[in-house]
Structure 1
Amino acid sequence: MPEQTPATDPVWLGLDLGTQSARCVAVDSTGQVLAAASRPLTSHREGHRHEQDPEQWWTALADACREALSGIDGDRIRGLALDGTSGTILLADAEGAPLTPGLMYDDGRAAAQAARVNDTGAAVWQELGYRTMQPSWALPKLLWLLDHEPAAAGTGVRLLHQPDLITWRLAGHQVPSDASHALKTGHHLVEERWPLREFAGLGVPEELLPEVVRPGSVLGTVCAAAAARTGIPEGTAIVAGMTDGCAAQIGAGALTPGAWNSVLGTTLVFKGMSPHLVRDPGGVVYCHRGPGDSWLPGGASSSGAGVLSREFPDADLDELTALAARSESDAVAYPLVSTGGERFPFRAPDALPFVLGEPADDAERFHAYLLGVACVERLCFDYLDLIGAPVDGPLTLTGGGARNRYWSGLRADVLGRPVRIPEQAEGALGMAVLAATSAGVSVQDAAADMVRIGEEILPDPARTARWTPVYLAFVDALAARGWLDETVAHHARERTRRAPGTQDHERAGQ
């Protein structure tokens, strides 16, 4: 980006609709966060159902914007972009008023509809690389709404993804959806169209569907009414955003071919950059279409840091980390969080947690879970390499788990590759980066200017060699239980054997 004087340096807004809050950040062209504010969101859960009030999305986000922008010179604000939760949808009338609750990203009520979707659209889903849709995906939930909501039979009804309601309010009229949020509704990301023949077979009316554009496209500008409600200046560019996982990837700066962002929160989520569509025979990796001609492959595990709060509910995790770092037991635990089995880097609905070895105390048991997450992470890379995804670019670590310095170092050692920890990495920051592309720069150039790396952690080759047998035993245990396909296990073993330093370690042990 060209250098700006402080008086004219543009400000870009990143808006984020999460599960628990709506957030606005104001960021300058160097990546400095000038202001931020958030408002809580509430959910209603009942069994497999998870709903939110769509009107609350608008009021919470508008209030967050007003607070964040109260001290910002409006003349500097040039553009905004918005992310939301993947697969969250609602139906609205012709004026944009919600007719249904928002069915959230993890709402699983549409199992019967998912079976219909997978039968009717099998050839398309195969072509797009993800093979099947889960009940929580948007298209099965759309069929559920069409089957059960009387309002769906009205005239002028519109399908909206979560951000579509907000961009409609901001612009004062309906604007296109972005291809990232449209992925789980079945949008054909290669041919960039809705699969209307399959939709007709499913009973989805064409007039229900929004126009779809690539992320980073300018959708319109903020209207006067929205400016009065939000504090965002009238005329500010509205840029098509992405789902929250992709937004976090942009915020981490993982945007060169082969670059990956590993988000360690309750579960482990992988997002990478590829110059080509990655098709996964196992159906556990799917690709978003990124800005420009890029593709963003990714997958979400059912393992992750959430296991720590379950296994050590009242513990001082900082103290346990210090004790674990001194013990460094070779025991390893499969850190499965979900009761519904595993979904990435393999699909095994019957998978259960296990521990290899015998931890002597809570510190060693704690270390076993830290080590288990690192082993799952390494298996993710082995699987991605097997299916042809580029994996040799820079790796950033984000999410709550990345704040544990020992754990990040352990992950670098187990992986045998450097890791980078950004100063700030959140979806809202990623959307500010994407908004900056409205000035005519690429998302890669905008991220290079706006994403700040706080630390790079290099692996210790001796420690990588130490943890390699533990990783291989972990792979063998998954395969022996029938959860990990032997083809994947074999590739993981062979890739480990070919890794630099492995042969030296093997000779040393002979």
Structure 2
Amino acid sequence: MKKLFGVDFGTGGCKATVIDPEGNILASAFEEYPSEHGRPGWSEQDPALWIDAFVNTVRSCRHQMSDGFDGLLGLAVTASTHNAVLLDEQGQVIRRCIMWNDQRSGDQCRRLKEDHGSAIFAIGMQMPTPTWTLPQLMWVKENEPENYAKIRRLLFTKDYVRSYVTGDFCTDVVDAQGSLLYDARSGCWSSELCGLIDLPLSVLPEIRKTKDIVGTVRREVAECTGLPEGLSVIAGCSDTAAEDFSAGAVNEGQIIIKLATAGNVNLVTNEANPHAKSFTYPYSVEGKWYTVTATNSCASAYRWMRDSLYGAEWAQCEKEGTDVYRLMDEQAASAELGCQGLIFHPYLLGERCPLFNPNARGDFFGVSMVHTKAHFARALLEGVAFSLYDCLQVLKEFTDSMEDIVIIGGGAKSPLWCQIVSDIFGLEVKLPEHAESSFGGALLAGVGVGVFANEMEAAKTCIRMKKTYLPNPENHAKYMKLFQIYKEVSELSAPVWEDLARFVEE
């Protein structure tokens, strides 16, 4: 049987998926790994954990299939973008990887905007925010000069893992764009942007197309994982680009709502539409672009609530073999719409669209004696959906069509959360049967090795919709009233966030 393999490295863990050429899942595995938050707004990961997770999930998938990896034709690795792994002359990791949701480089972003903002936007198509690799590296240069001086190679998350598999030194156009060191119009690294931080172009990887075969599985990795030695490996892309593709978004005007570690509302376009309040990327579908609007804390906020408020319930669910998130959803469903005035702002790691404020902080506003844990759980789901609705307003500048919307990500497993999103947006929302980055990566591997003629054929063959959520007009009207209060509280809080940031720094 022919097989295709995708392995994705999200912020919260690694997901591996094996499919057949009809899009049926043959095996899957997941392994969680932690982020380190040494200070408020900081987020780092140890790249060694990614390698361990790769090996473990690949082995797990092999054991799930009676014929193992017989018939496997191609592998793709995908991951969250912006995350630079810094390597020294011996190829060793210099420091933990600063992740895309890290907010420490706020001051660097301010200075980059003031001194070079127009030039950066003209070349990189984005304004500097702490999400991007350029200001992250600027922070390292200014605060850890001894580490910065050691840099001889730079790879992004998926490329670091793939390099372990094949030994290559390259990235794809999507991750290159995610660095803010790349000139997408010219298709090459920008000497002008790299010059802002004195970064030699020689440390940056070769840039390839997402579906290009860039190497094969090395013998040592084959012996460790069971993967066939010599298996073709494609360049891969960002998790978002793979996941949007896995949802069937291959045509201009399609919108994707992503409930993952971060939350995204993305729009597929035929050309680049740079905007100061969104992100612009080449797409995994060759010849297309996608515009991204994003909130930093989405499913990660629900995970934070699990860890912080549901410890006892989580332990009990572990004993019973049940899912604590399902319990949280059940409690949230028991609370009424609007939670009797309890509002959550999901700015646990600062915020991207549309605030672009690294000092933004989350809150539960309107707490009273009537509120229970169930109200807090539902308020969190509603608050994240409000933040995503805020993101949607930016995309309205680029499209009049809001009819072809799909919802994806781990949070989309919650029927309650999907319905809340549909009600707040006031729009019909479709849920694909399979829509994960690892699934999309497997499809892209199929395109790369020739199983599918192109991305359109892969989508037509393998992608199916499972459910459609219809908005309740009465609920939408109520949510719009609450959304105005949500916005007002956020705007009034902005000066206080700055006071809090100064207090923490003292």
**With structure 2 as the length reference, what TM-score do the two structures score?**
0.80
Instruction: Please name the residue that 2:503 is paired with.
Output: none
1:453 aligns to 2:486 (yes or no)? no
Name the aligned partner's letter for residue 223 of structure 2.
Answer: A
| 1:416-443 CA-partner distances (Å, limit 9, x unpaired) | 3221112332221121121111115322
Secondary structure of the corresponding residue to residue 344 of structure 2: coil
Matches within 5 A, 1:53-452: 53-70=46-63, 71=65, 72-93=67-88, 96-115=91-110, 117-119=112-114, 121-127=116-122, 131-147=126-142, 148=144, 150=146, 152-153=148-149, 157-174=152-169, 176-186=170-180, 187-265=182-260, 267-280=262-275, 283-291=276-284, 292-302=286-296, 304=298, 306=301, 310=305, 313-314=309-310, 316-324=327-335, 327-328=336-337, 334-339=343-348, 342-347=351-356, 353=363, 362=372, 370-386=381-397, 388-389=398-399, 391-438=401-448, 439=450, 440-452=452-464
Preserved CA contact (<8 Å) 2:262 2:295: yes
Give the match's secondary structure for 2:393.
helix
Change (3 A) 1:210 1:372: closer
Deviation at 1:182, TM superposition (A): 2.0
**Considering only CA atoms, is the larger Rg found in Structure 1 or Structure 2?**
1
Q: Which residue of the partner structure matches residue 16 of structure 1?
A: 8
For 1:69, what is the secondary structure of its paired residue?
Answer: helix
The worse-fitting range, judged by mean Cα deviation, of 179-188 and 102-111 is 102-111
Aligned partners of 1:116 and 1:202 also within 8 Å: no
Q: Closer, same or farther in 2 for the Cα pair 1:391/1:183, shift >3 Å?
A: farther
* Separation in structure 1 between the aligned mates of residue 264 and residue 238 of structure 2, nearest angstrom: 13
Instruction: Name the count of aligned residue pairs.
Output: 467
Do the aligned partners of 1:374 and 1:410 also contact (CA within 8 Å) in 2? yes
Gaps of 5+ in 2: 314-326, 494-506
Higher mean displacement: 104-113 or 209-218:
104-113
Question: Percent identity at matched positions?
Answer: 24
CA apart distance, 1:310: 4.3
TM-aligned CA deviation for residue 399 of structure 1: 3.1
Higher alpha-carbon deviation: 45-54 or 22-31 = 45-54
Deviation at 1:159, TM superposition (A): 1.3
Task: Output the CA distance in 2 between the equivalents of 1:341 and 1:153.
Answer: 29
Q: In 2, Cα distance between the equivalents of 1:193 and 1:165?
A: 20
Q: Distance in 2 between matches of 1:307 and 1:236?
A: 38
Q: 1:336 to 1:54 in 2, by over 3 A?
A: same
Deviations, residues 80-109 of structure 1 (Å, cap 9, x unaligned):
111122221122245643333323333344
1:42 positional shift: 4.3
CA distance in 1, matches of 2:98, 2:104: 9
Matched residue type, 1:433? L
Give the whole-Å Cα distance in 1 for the aligned partners of 2:424 and 2:104: 39
Deviation at 1:75, TM superposition (A): 4.3
Residue 288 of structure 1 aligns to which amino acid in structure 2?
Y
TM-score, length basis structure 1:
0.79
Residue 502 of structure 2 is matched in structure 1 by none
Distance 1:103 1:447, change over 3 A: same
Q: Distance between the aligned counterparts of 2:166 and 2:293, measured in 1?
A: 33
Distance change (3 Å), C-alpha of 1:224 and 1:120: farther
Opposite residue 218 of structure 1, the aligned amino acid is I
